[in-house]
């Protein structure tokens, strides 16, 4: 399930990550075989799944399966601080959402079609209040304060 997430955060010494389904005689479902291959490459993905291994979060981070590992004693505070960096007033929420859409949808398209989608989404953003604020703030050499509009 973690592989279906855009960002994967882990608690130090809080567990392990992997795809051990082969140990039950089945393969990883819910898109696991596809998602892990896109993250770590086909060869490493096949090896991981065929061996049924699980990894420490540190090893998972080296492979790109984990984005950040936070200490157990301050885990939720760190997660909250981490999440806030993607939200107004620090970032334009609509732009973050459309970035996610461009990446996820574009990954399923040929390059030219993905770029066309990107241009369409960029056009939508250029019409937003947040884009106006971002451009004005840049020209005024100040931090933008996004409102999520």
> Which domains are delineated in the chain?
2-72 (3.90.226.20), 93-139 (1.10.12)
**CA–CA gap between residue 143 and residue 128 (Å, rounded):** 17
Average pLDDT of the segment spanning 10-24: 94
Question: Quick one: how far is CA 33 from the chain centroid?
Answer: 17
With the C-alpha atoms ordered 59, 45, 112, 130, is the resulting torsion angle positive or negative? negative
User: Could you report the per-residue pLDDT of 117-146, keeping only the tens digit for each?
Assistant: 999 999 999 999 999 999 999 999 999 999
pTM: 0.81
pLDDT at 148 over 90: no
User: Could you report the per-residue pLDDT of 31-73, keeping only the tens digit for each?
Assistant: 999 999 999 999 999 999 999 989 999 999 999 999 999 999 9
CA separation, residue 12 to residues 8, 56, 68, 76, 119 (Å): 13, 9, 10, 12, 40
Contact between 40 and 64 (Cβ < 8 Å): yes
């Amino acid at each position: 399930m973690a592989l279906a997430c855009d960002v994967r955060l882990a608690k130090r010494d809080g567990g392990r990550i992997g795809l051990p389904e082969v140990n039950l005689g089945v393969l990883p479902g819910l898109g696991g075989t596809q998602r892990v291959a896109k993250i770590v490459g086909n060869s490493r993905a096949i090896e991981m799944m065929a061996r049924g291994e699980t990894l420490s979060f540190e090893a998972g981070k080296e492979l790109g399966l984990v984005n950040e590992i936070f200490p157990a004693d301050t885990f939720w505070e760190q997660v909250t601080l981490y999440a806030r960096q993607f939200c107004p007033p620090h970032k334009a929420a609509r732009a973050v959402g459309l970035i996610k859409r461009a990446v996820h949808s574009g990954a399923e398209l040929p390059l030219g079609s993905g770029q066309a989608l990107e241009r369409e989404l960029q056009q939508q953003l250029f019409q937003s209040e947040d884009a106006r604020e971002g451009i004005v703030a840049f020209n005024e050499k100040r931090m933008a304060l996004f409102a999520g509009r």
